Chains A and B, each alone.
Chain A
Amino acid sequence: MPISRDVVEHVAQLAHLGLEPDEVDEMTSQLSSVLDHISRLQEVDTSEVPPTSHVVTLQNIMRDDEVIPSWPPNDVLANAPRRVDDLFEVQAIFD
């Protein structure tokens, strides 16, 4: 099942991947071939089959509501590209 260039561009935007036009072309053709193979899943009768989201049957893994020390700010910010005091600096999201 081929995927169109427009769809690839749209999906790239959803994923915040700033692809160059020639990259979009390349991805379009490669993804088409992969999706072609993957589409065979449509053949499988799964009408009575529940989805598996987790292979091991674990449920509601909780911990006690105990306050434990957080990381010191210097550790948290150790790899920060832009830092202001104990904050990560980033461009405005809203105007």
Chain B
Amino acid sequence: MARLGKNLTTMDLSYISISDSANLLAGRELSSLELTRYALERIERVDPHVGAFLLPTPEVALQQAAAADERLARGLGGPLTGIPMALKDILSTDGIRTTCGSRILADYVPKYDATVVERLRAAGAVLLGKTNMDEFAMGSSTENSAFGPVHNPWDLTRVPGGSSGGSAAAVAAGETIYALGTDTGGSIRQPAALTGTVGLKPTYGRVSRYGLVAFASSLDQIGPLTRSVEDAAIVLGAIAGYDPRDSTALDAPVPDYTAALSAGVRELRLGVPREYLSEGLAPGVRDVFMQACRLYQDLGAKIDEVSLPYTEYALSTYYIISPAEAMANLARYDGVRYGLTVEGEDVWQMYAHTRDQGFGKEVKRRILLGTYALSSGYYDAYYLKAQRVRTLVRRDFEAAFERVDAILAPTSPTVAFRLGERVSNPLEMYLSDVYTVPINIAGICAISIPGGFSEDLPVGVQIVGKPLDEPAILRIAAAFERATPFHRQRPPLQVPV
């Protein structure tokens, strides 16, 4: 067992923050090797029950921890040096298997690192492993993983959300200090909400997608899952920024996202969209959300109702655009250059068998939907129509942001649902994304933070900001965190410790 500094307990290490870890490492009260060994042991004990990891990487982790300790000894450490983290298995890692939660990539080993992985490596981060996810990021529960579901640490019979369910659960269960996820329609924010963690989707183009296995190229973004707002700010600062290898990356300066976290919300104008307080919102979640609004008022913000009239069409827009982009992005999985290959009488049969056996049901559903929406005779009515409605959804936010500095919203309409509850009804599963999807459609930024509890399960609150206004949403999120105890609550996790 790791030798601990004088004032630490084992519980502290499980749920320690990035900033506290960095202080201990800098002060040489703890080594990266100790911190890493502790995390690896916790993963061994806890993960058989949670299923957050597809591939723990202990050898790599220990090597990186040793290297980090050397760097720290020379006083050359940065905010993330020596601190263990986990990566959603959709991010390319050189020499380390990357499956995207799919059988079709079960044995795929990339020969390069994604840009975000390169940046974290350069910062001295320690990789604990690759986390479980819905196949090709398609899903809201992580039940679409080809390798088994993830169990919500707050109630192991329930889902952690998806598609970044593994990353979120690993953070919530204290298996890792932070993780990276990806968000195309809510896949960072919704699992954050269901697991009581912090999840941030940056503005489209803020973080390079080079090395991110593509699902929907105009919607995908990589972002942090953490246990505190400050930690999310630290990680965002490390991964954000221009990258010539991603032609959709923004050439905009990266500010110090930790600088204004304590500025508070006095005099800020926060909008609540009337269309989001609809019948699909569970009463317990609604109560938590309304209480959060009242707290923001107490903290000095002005709460105003706003209207986003095209909200009811955002989900449909998403479920045309994202499958259309996905079918194009998944055309490359054909058994020729990498991944699963299944013999056929001819090349066409090889494609058909490979893809039939390699892809799960949800992926097939979306490929069919996307192909249909783009096919001759249907393109105008579906894809082109959806792109026009996309403009209207964007304009809704632009108009709202003329009147308010940020928007408050629920993240998920319900708390974590039970495993198996929604698998036979795709449409019901899609409705989990109703409050997160408009943000991806508009390309703006949003963060979900622990907002309270309902039925003893976490409820997330979402703060939505203008393009590149991550500093504002972080500041607004931090104010709520300072005034509430929710982020300090830990899942009961009935596993032997």
Q: Chain A: interface secondary structure?
A: loop
Contact with B along A65-77 (1 / 0, CB 8 A): 0000001000110
A9–chain B nearest beta-carbon distance, Å: 10
Contact status A11-B372, CB under 8 Å: yes
Contact with A along B319-346 (1 / 0, CB 8 A): 1100000010001001111110100101
- With a CB–CB cut-off of 8 A, which chain A residues contact B385? 41-42, 44, 46
- With a CB–CB cut-off of 8 A, which chain B residues contact A56? 204-205, 248, 250, 443, 467
A70–chain B nearest beta-carbon distance, Å: 12
| Interface bin, chain B | 35 or more
Please judge, given known A-B contacts A17-B352, A38-B316, whether A78 and B111 are in contact too, CB under 8 Å. yes
| A21 proximal to B (CB < 8 A) | no
A-B pairs, 7 with minimum CB distance: A55-B443, A18-B352, A51-B387, A79-B338, A46-B388, A18-B356, A81-B341
Contact status B388-A31, CB under 8 Å: no
Q: How far is the CA of A35 from the CA of B391 in the complex (A)?
A: 21
Please judge, given known A-B contacts A42-B381, A46-B392, whether A54 and B248 are in contact too, CB under 8 Å. yes
Contact status A17-B204, CB under 8 Å: no
Contact status A71-B387, CB under 8 Å: no
Contact status A38-B319, CB under 8 Å: yes
Contact status B392-A91, CB under 8 Å: no
- With a CB–CB cut-off of 8 A, which chain A residues contact B443? 55-56
Q: How far is the CA of A89 from the CA of B78 in the complex (A)?
A: 47
| Interface bin, chain A | 35 or more
Question: What are 29 residue pairs bridging A and B, where the CB atoms are less than 8 Å apart in the complex?
Answer: A7-B372, A14-B371, A16-B351, A17-B355, A18-B352, A20-B356, A27-B364, A27-B365, A27-B368, A31-B368, A31-B372, A33-B426, A33-B427, A34-B365, A34-B427, A37-B315, A40-B316, A41-B316, A42-B385, A44-B313, A51-B384, A52-B391, A53-B218, A56-B443, A61-B247, A71-B111, A81-B341, A82-B341, A90-B347
- With a CB–CB cut-off of 8 A, which chain B residues contact A39? 316
Please judge, given known A-B contacts A15-B371, A18-B349, A51-B391, whether A41 and B336 are in contact too, CB under 8 Å. no
- With a CB–CB cut-off of 8 A, which chain B residues contact A55? 204, 218, 394, 442-443
- State the B residues within 8 Å of A (CB): 107-109, 111, 204-205, 218, 244, 247-248, 250, 310, 312-313, 315-317, 319-320, 327, 331, 334-339, 341, 344, 346-353, 355-356, 359, 361, 364-365, 367-369, 371-372, 375, 381-382, 384-392, 394, 426-427, 430, 442-443, 467
Q: How far is the CA of A3 from the CA of B339 in the complex (A)?
A: 32
Question: Which chain B residue shows the least CB distance to A56?
Answer: B205
